[in-house]
Structure 1
Amino acid sequence: MAKRLIPSLNRVLVEKIVPPSKTSAGILLPEKSSKQLNSGRVVAVGPGTRDREGNLMAVCVKEGDTVLLPEYGGTQVKLVDKEYHLYRDEDILGTLHD
């Protein structure tokens, strides 16, 4: 049975996007040419936090979004041989769109 992590409060579970190291023809790419933005795909989001009046402030990203991440930060989490990172909603720099 696979475990599913539901983040608490305003936390977001992200799977980092790793740039390809080979082309579709099998040619190895040097590290410099494969450097991309520090981005990831949102896997799960928490319900949000409450303000002073008790109103729920929802997280501003949703599952499936591609987000821009800070260079440092986040908490590494390993679930079923996959590596994820937990970030606070306010630490995510933005969403990426095509």
Structure 2
Amino acid sequence: MPATATKTKIVPLGDRVVVKRAEAESTTAGGIVLPDSAKDKPQRGEVVAIGDGHVKSDGTKVALTVKEGDSVIFSSYAGDDITIGDEEYLLLRESDILATF
């Protein structure tokens, strides 16, 4: 692949949202440095792509309430981890997002 290759863009479908998970804390509040194996995966991140909405039972489409760039908090076991190139993302449903901040 040439060095000038364009970055792959992921486009989620329906009510799916792609989130870039926040970095895990590397030290505790007391100053203890944590190895990678002891770090918990954060339950927060930034929305990088959204689907076009979900379809209601009557056939109407409802737009998602989150938008690209939103900082969100999501369920701890929500979604699927995906890797594109050397970047890791989380693909989840909008309903798995608990809050924005």
Q: TM-score, normalised by structure 1?
A: 0.79
Using the alignment, how far apart are the partners of 1:5 and 1:41 within structure 2?
15
Q: Secondary structure at the match of 1:83?
A: strand
> For residue 60 of structure 1, what is the amino acid of its counterpart?
T
Aligned to 1:95: 100
Q: TM-score, normalised by structure 2?
A: 0.77
Aligned to 1:30: 33
Mark the CA change 1:54 to 1:76 in structure 2 (over 3 Å): closer, same or farther. same
Structure 1: 4+ residue segments shifted above 3 A: 34-37
Aligned to 2:57: 52
5+ residue gaps, structure 1: 23-27
> For residue 95 of structure 2, what is the amino acid of its counterpart?
E
Using the alignment, how far apart are the partners of 2:47 and 2:70 within structure 1?
5
5+ residue gaps, structure 2: 1-5
Q: After TM superposition, give the deviation of residue 38 of structure 1 in Å.
A: 1.6
Q: How many residues align?
A: 89
